[in-house]
Amino acid sequence: MSVERPRSGTEGAGPPESVWYAAYGSNADPDRLCCYLTGDTPDGAVATPGTISSDSGRQPVRGCRDRTPPARSIGIVLPGVLYFATESAIWTGGRAFYDPATPAETPARAYLLTRGQFSDIATQEMYRPPGTDLDLTEALRTGRSRIGPGRYETLVCPGSHEGVPIVTCTADRRWRDVPGNPPAPAYLRRIAIGLRAAHRWSDSETAAYLATRPGAAGHWTPRMVAELLRDY
């Protein structure tokens, strides 16, 4: 599995019905992504199976309209920084977010999906009901589209790969503008498993990266993160 960096711009990016979804958090683990595709709850999550929590109550995780597995997945490196902040209702602990404006590198796993699949995954991350395709026009043209003020309600397109646009979702904030919050062990393990496989890293390489991310640094050490991977 090759590690590819996105080209800047999306001119000639191919049919808009196909996108690379760049997963930098727990969705980097294919088993975790499958929960959003099929409507399940991942191992280690604390929420009631089949539901997610939001400020307005509990909503079902419905899964995608098209539950076909991704056509492909690759390791990819995005410009920007991964950080942990806020509090996850699914896992407890901090959530993973992506700040594309900070000079750094964010390893991720990119899945080749239909536009509809990406839309349904992204809207579930936004605590919105899936079933409607997102308008990616602004994100593909400018690199960014703010759908709302909440978690994962900003779309980012850092470029394209093989003529297909790369898209992801994050919060509309810089990492320095929000207090960090360390991730829960089960959540961090999902990220570690996904990135280790996508980038063919050793346990120590995976741990060294994640333990130094804002929000995790100072709480998680490389040794502690490596311990999460011992039996996986």
Give the domain CATH number at 7.
3.10.490.10
Give CA–CA dist 205/219, Å, rounded: 18
pLDDT value at position 13? 47
pTM score: 0.89
Quote the pLDDT of residue 105: 96
Per-residue tens of pLDDT for the chain, all 232 residues:
444 566 555 555 444 689 999 999 999 999 999 999 998 776 656 654 344 443 333 444 679 999 999 999 999 999 999 999 999 988 999 999 999 999 999 999 999 999 999 999 999 999 888 889 999 999 999 999 999 888 899 999 999 998 899 999 999 989 999 999 999 999 999 999 999 999 999 999 999 999 999 999 999 999 999 999 999 9
According to DSSP, the β-strands at 164-170 and 18-23 are parallel
- Supply the pLDDT for residue 61: 66
pLDDT computed for residue 90 by the predictor: 86
Alpha-carbon distances of 162 from 9, 20, 41, 76, 146, rounded to whole Å: 12, 10, 32, 12, 26
List residues bridging with 167 in a β-sheet.
21
Q: How many helices and strands, by DSSP H and E, does the chain display?
A: 6, 11
> CA-to-CA distance for 128 and 141, rounded, in angstroms?
24
| Count of the separate structural domains present in the chain | 1
For residue 74, give its domain range. 3-228
